[in-house]
Amino acid sequence: MPELVKINVADHVADVRLNRPDKYNALNPDMFRAIIEAGQAVARDTSVRAVVLSGEGRGFSAGLDFEEFSKMGQAGAIDLTKRQAGQIANNAQLPAMIWKQVAVPDFHIAVGWVSRTPGQRTRL
């Protein structure tokens, strides 16, 4: 299976890319997990001072992959309503909310950007 979220860190910038271009980076259970894991990995990397989140191919994300969404209720699939102890959101919300745990002053999305107040690791 290809890497669903690619992370490349260079010059203190984490380039995070959704990597399911054949489906316009649509979200399925594996993509939910991969985005959460990518956010956690970037949050742990103290060298990162900025994050750029984008999608491979022609678009950022088509949203939910409805073909695979029906499989989310099957055994072994991610439980979207579950919220782990210490988790800031349930699994449905976490792919978006995980980025709040990344302490960087700038967070850019392929279609725009959000500039945040400098965090603890910010070097101006």
Mean pLDDT of 110-121: 51
CATH fold for the domain made of 5-115: 2-enoyl-CoA Hydratase; Chain A, domain 1 (3.90.226)
Residue 29: what are its φ and ψ, rounded to 5°?
Answer: -55, -40
* pLDDT tens track for 2-20: 799 999 999 999 999 999 9
Element spanning 42, H or E: helix 29-44
Mean pLDDT score across all residues of the chain: 81
Which of 86, 93, 89, 8 is closest to 54 using CA atoms?
8
pLDDT given for residue 119 in this prediction: 55
The domains of the chain are located at: 5-115
